[in-house]
Amino acid sequence: MTDDMEDSKKYQGLGFGLGLRKEHYQDVIDSFETEDSQQTEHSINVDWFEVLTENYLVPGGKPLYYLEKIAEQYPMVMHGVSMNIGNTEPLDKNYLEQVKLLKNRINAHWLSDHLCWTGTNGSNAHDLLPLPYTEESVKNVADRISQVQDFLGCRMLIENVSSYVSYKQSDMSEWEFLNEVAERADCLLLLDINNIYVSSVNHEFDPLDYLLQVPKQRVQQFHLAGHSDYGDYVIDTHDMPVCDAVWSLYAKAVERFGDVTFMIERDDNIPPLNELLLELDLARDVSENVLKGGYYSSLVQNLQMKQESKPLQQQKIPA
């Protein structure tokens, strides 16, 4: 399959979104409802939301109530952490059935999970554990993704994870492994730019080598997030703003892959919605400028300075 293949198998792009978190439920609802519950034009500049699948698999309750209410107004996609796609045990059909029901319930545009394993013997490690990059792993994971796609009746996205250990058995690079899995399973990719950066520091490779080897036609979505830098190693913590190095890597990703659906993850130290909207505006500015004139080294810094100089009322932030 060539790199200039038609994108006919991709889903329609959604623009710039955020992860939907409980701290922001009411702010989002207020963006489309007045006190008398009449719908109005959205007052926050978000195109869509991504939801953590596992948070909404229990029938009923307030989270699902809020999700359904917001899903009536905003496009949704689902992002899971428990598919355990890298394991060798039988897939959890009960879990997959719940995922399918939720997808239909909120009319999710697509769903994703991680290229990793998360437990064995029925236990959940509550972590995204890396795989050995071998032919055996490729075959196993690609087969399991194909089974999931057949069960759900749709193409899924698989995401590259950040990693902190490597296997002696690996006989290919991470990006070669990712490409082989996507090709054989005929799935799409959720390319996490922050994870590429984190792993590049931890494993001492050039993140551009990664970006340049991923096939354009497979990339459906980008993730950006913050991390914790401990000097000799970096941990993907999702608890702070995106750093300049990751913004620059995102700009280079836009230069290579074009206009790709974008989303910011924040899972801890959740800030007010206003702060995330400013980051989302910066992402729009970076994408727009790269698509118009290409990447240059001071691009992100220039756009940050421009954003800081804007009057608050021009930043489309609700009071």
Write out the residue range of the structural domain in which residue 29 sits: 16-315
What is the distance between the alpha carbons of residues 210 and 149, in angstroms, rounded to a whole number? 26
Q: Does residue 34 carry a pLDDT above 70?
A: no
Is the residue at 285 inside a domain? yes
- Average pLDDT on 248-264 reads 98
Specify if 11 maps to a domain. Answer: no
pLDDT for the residue numbered 44? 92
Mean pLDDT of 239-263: 97
Determine which of 57-71, 115-129, 169-183 has the lowest per-residue pLDDT on average: 115-129
- pLDDT value at position 120? 78
Range 267-276 average pLDDT? 95
Average pLDDT over residues 257-266: 97
pLDDT digits (tens, 9 = 90+) for 81-94: 999 999 999 999 99
Does 319 have pLDDT greater than 80? no
pLDDT for the residue 103:
98
CATH of the domain at 53: 3.20.20.150
Answer with the residue of higher pLDDT: 231 or 74. 74
In a domain, 3, yes or no: no
Does 4 reside within a domain?
no
62 in any annotated domain = yes
> Is 43 a member of any domain?
yes
pLDDT of residue 129: 85
Please say whether the beta carbons of 102 and 53 come within 8 A: yes
Q: Which pTM value belongs to this model?
A: 0.91
Q: Is the pLDDT of residue 317 over 70?
A: no
pLDDT given for residue 69 in this prediction: 97
What is the per-residue pLDDT across 44-64, written as a single tens digit (0 to 9) for each?
A: 999 999 999 999 998 889 999
pLDDT over threshold 60, residue 3: no
> How confident is residue 43, by pLDDT bands cut at 50, 70 and 90?
confident
**pLDDT surpasses 80 at 66:** yes
In this structure, of 61-75, 85-99, 113-127, 160-174, the range with the lowest mean pLDDT score is 113-127
Q: How many domains in the chain?
A: 1
For the chain, the three-class secondary structure string (H helix, E strand, C coil) is: CCCCCCCCCCCCCCCEEEECCHHHHHHHHHCCECCCCCECCCCCCCCEEEEEHHHHCCCCCHHHHHHHHHHCCCCEEEECCCCCCCCCCCCCHHHHHHHHHHHHHHCCCCEEEECCECCCCCCCCCCCECCCCCHHHHHHHHHHHHHHHHHHCCCCEEECCCCCCCCCCCCCCHHHHHHHHHHHHCCEEEEEHHHHHHHHHHHCCCHHHHHHHCCHHHEEEEEECCCEECCCCEECCCCCCCCHHHHHHHHHHHHHHCCCEEEECCCCCCCCHHHHHHHHHHHHHHHHHHHHHCCCCCHHHHHHHHHHHCCHHHHCCCC
Cβ contact 53:111 at 8 Å: yes
Does residue 188 lie in a domain region? Answer: yes
pLDDT the model gives residue 315: 46
Task: Say if 1 falls within a structural domain.
Answer: no
